[in-house]
Amino acid sequence: MKAIYPGSFDPITYGHIDIIERASKIFDELVIVIMHNDEKKGFFSMEERIDMVRKCIENYDNVTVEIGYGLTVDYAKKIGATVLVRGIRAVSDYEYEMQLATANMTLAEDVHTIFLLSKPEYSFLSSSTAKSIAKNKGDLKAFVPDYVAEKLKEKFQ
């Protein structure tokens, strides 16, 4: 079974990697889809994000990364994925994700959403948190892999 894990990954964090690792054990194929959003200006370019994700997933044989455009469910159907993987950190994430999942069910009832709960040590972690710590020259070891930390430091120099 093929699944996608869509998101902005701006940048990828240990929380994302935890979801990727667990989802890669559940599905035959997992595609990380960095979704293009015209309404948001990303901190990192799409090319920089795909580079960081590729570096972080190189040890997973059944995981790839792509850039996606349009509606997530349409992209899933286009590449033959029947499952959307989403991570949930807190109740506020669940409320938002439930709205998205319900809309996606209406648009494509054959594409299912699976929620994976964050491990407690990642429940506070977000890309925004990592960027804020990097901006203030804090220690990123608990938040992002070294490669991503270097890219964040470069951006803030």
- 24, 49, 86, 89: the catalytic one is 89
- Distances from the Cα of 75 to the Cαs of 31, 82, 107, in angstroms? 11, 10, 12
Q: Which two tokens stand for residue 17?
A: 């990697």
User: pLDDT tens digits for 76-88?
Assistant: 999 999 999 999 9
Look up 8 and say whether it is catalytic. Answer: no
pLDDT tens-digit series, residues 64-115? 999 999 999 999 999 999 999 999 998 878 888 999 999 999 999 999 999 9
Question: Mapping DSSP to helix (H, G, I), strand (E, B) and coil, where does residue 104 land?
Answer: helix
pTM: predicted TM-score of the whole model, two decimal places = 0.94
Is residue 112 part of the annotated active site? The answer reads: no
Catalytic residue (choose from 40, 78, 141, 153): 40
The domains located in the chain, with CATH, are 2-123 (3.40.50.620)
Cα distances from 103 to residues 24, 70, 98, in angstroms, run: 25, 14, 9
